[in-house]
Amino acid sequence: MSVMVQKSKEEGGLEGGVLYIDTENTFRPERIVQIAQAHEMDPEKVLDNIIVARA
């Protein structure tokens, strides 16, 4: 979902950024890269648009 929300509205996304609240230390940037690449998105831009808050 952290990747999909960043897609254009035409592609079903919201063209938005993401705040990921991680309460169990489960955020994995390498997985975000895989998903972004699978959707032909720039992984660096996708990661730049995700703010991770550890709680």
What pLDDT score does 16 carry?
95
Q: What is the C-alpha separation between 3 and 11, in angstroms, rounded?
A: 12
State the pLDDT at residue 31.
98
Which residues in 25-42 are b (16+ Cβ under 10 Å) and which e? eeeeeeebbeebeeeebe
Q: What is the model's pLDDT at position 21?
A: 97
Dihedrals φ, ψ of 13, to 5°?
-95, -170
Q: What is the per-residue pLDDT across 25-41, written as a single tens digit (0 to 9) for each? A: 999 999 999 999 999 99
Amino acid at 13: G
Q: What is the average per-residue pLDDT within 10-24?
A: 96
Domain spans of the chain?
A: 4-54
Q: Residue holding tokens 């998903």?
A: 35
Q: What mean pLDDT is predicted for residues 2-19?
A: 95
Q: Are 55 and 22 in contact (CB under 8 A)?
A: yes
pLDDT of residue 11: 94
